[in-house]
Amino acid sequence: MAESNKQPRDKADSTDDDDDEKGQAALVQQLLNKFSGLFGSLKLDEPAEDPVLKSFNLEAAAEYMSKCSNVVVMAGAGISTSAGIPDFRSPGTGLYSQLEKYNLPFPEAVFHLDFFRTNPKPFFLLAKELYPQKFTPTPTHYFIRLLEEKKKLLRVFTQNIDSLERVAGISTDKIVEAHGTFFTSHCLDCREEYDLEFIKEIIFKDEIPHCKKCDGIVKPDIVFFGEKLPARFNDCVHSDFSKADFLIIIGTSLKVAPFNRLLTFVDKNCPRLLINMEPAGNSNQDMGFGALLYGKKANRRDVFHQSTCDEGVSELAKSLGWEDEFSKLLKSEGVSVEKVKENLSTIPNETEENADRLAAQMAKASLEDEKKKD
């Protein structure tokens, strides 16, 4: 895998400055294309001769993971559901419903840069509702922090823009925010940088933040439709996935490219654990080479544990022998898995699906924009 990462990287290094700024969606697709032909040689109806795991359940995954030191986590909207973050589309209560008075041409316009430049008010109303410090990280966020404290976490790649990984105390250098973050902002005109507190003070007055230097609009560094993914995403994909010795995929439908393709870049002997309410990533049509093979005879390393994210990591912690440490960490942060279960009953079920749908639309627009630049 290390060698396969090298070719796209060398190619990127040899291009001019414009090419260096191309979207990561195209680059990840380039990596995928390199391996796509290999899938046909895999016979899914024949048992694997050299399984990596003793069995394909959470306990066996935990036993293997206990010996690992370069765990990569791929996190989706599901890890934040129990925090009570509002969904986008529920009639009357969804965030888009709150924006109807602004006569948006379509709901997603709030995340389009051209619309934002002419009418930023709807976005900042939304930003106020999603402001990171309004929500408490979930047990899943704290489990990822425990992974770091145990010196096992190589990186967490998150699709979420809620910044709850940071709020949970995970080190910034361990986090890759694939779709950006609220924690930093930049002026659209002069690119002057501003911090979270600068934005907070202004948007909580229902005002529009403007640059102190040039009076341009200041926009949080979350990825809008058509914008390229952060450069850090590309850099860490290259540096991390060849090193990973265990992959945890949690709270994601694996429908959003290029993020969903990342699971195909770990070594063939790297176990992949999916913790999710629904099966995901196991469709050859969607994923091609590298699809998760849980439930198939040819499976060597993939485990699907069906549960909520918080319940799944609690069971994983128990299987790892970390139950007491995990409980102490949650208690020290004032978080309770039981209370989270109660809160889940009041949260719309479609939250994760809507967030994934929005991310998919943004990723698709970003890819189309990069193709135009080519």
Per-residue pLDDT of the chain in tens (374 residues, 90 and over written 9):
333 333 334 434 444 444 544 445 555 555 544 444 344 445 556 667 789 999 999 999 999 999 999 999 999 988 988 888 765 655 665 666 667 777 788 878 888 899 999 999 989 988 887 777 678 899 999 999 999 999 999 999 999 888 899 999 999 999 999 988 888 999 999 999 999 889 888 999 989 999 999 999 999 998 888 788 888 999 999 999 999 999 999 999 888 778 888 999 999 999 999 999 999 988 766 666 688 999 988 899 999 999 999 999 999 999 999 999 999 999 999 887 666 555 544 444 444 444 454 455 444 544 454 555 55
CATH architecture of 86-134+180-222: 2-Layer Sandwich (3.30)
Per-residue pLDDT tens digits for 185-234: 999 999 999 998 898 889 999 899 999 999 999 999 988 887 888 889 99
Per-residue pLDDT tens digits for 11-29: 344 444 445 444 455 555 5
Q: Which of 112, 141, 179, 238 is catalytic?
A: 179
211 labeled part of a ligand binding site: yes
- Enter the tokens of residue 137: 């990280």
Two domains, one topology: 51-83+138-179+230-344 and 86-134+180-222:
no
Quote the pLDDT of residue 250.
97
Quote the pLDDT of residue 258.
83
29 labeled part of a ligand binding site: no
Quote the pLDDT of residue 353.
47
Count Cβ atoms below 10 Å from residue 99 Cβ, excluding itself.
20
Give me the residue spans of the domains in the chain.
51-83+138-179+230-344, 86-134+180-222
Compute the distance between CA of residue 90 and CA of residue 256 in angstroms, rounded to an integer. Answer: 21
Quote the pLDDT of residue 1.
37
349 labeled part of a ligand binding site: no
Look up the pTM and report it: 0.77
The answer to whether residue 305 is catalytic is no
Quote the pLDDT of residue 186.
95
Compute the distance between CA of residue 251 and CA of residue 362 in angstroms, rounded to an integer. Answer: 19
80 labeled part of a ligand binding site: yes
CATH of 51-83+138-179+230-344, one of 3.40.50.1220, 3.30.420.40, 3.90.1110.10, 3.40.50.10740: 3.40.50.1220
Q: How far apart are the first and last CA of the chain?
A: 27
Alpha-carbon dihedral sign for residues 278, 279, 283, 287: positive
278 labeled part of a ligand binding site: yes
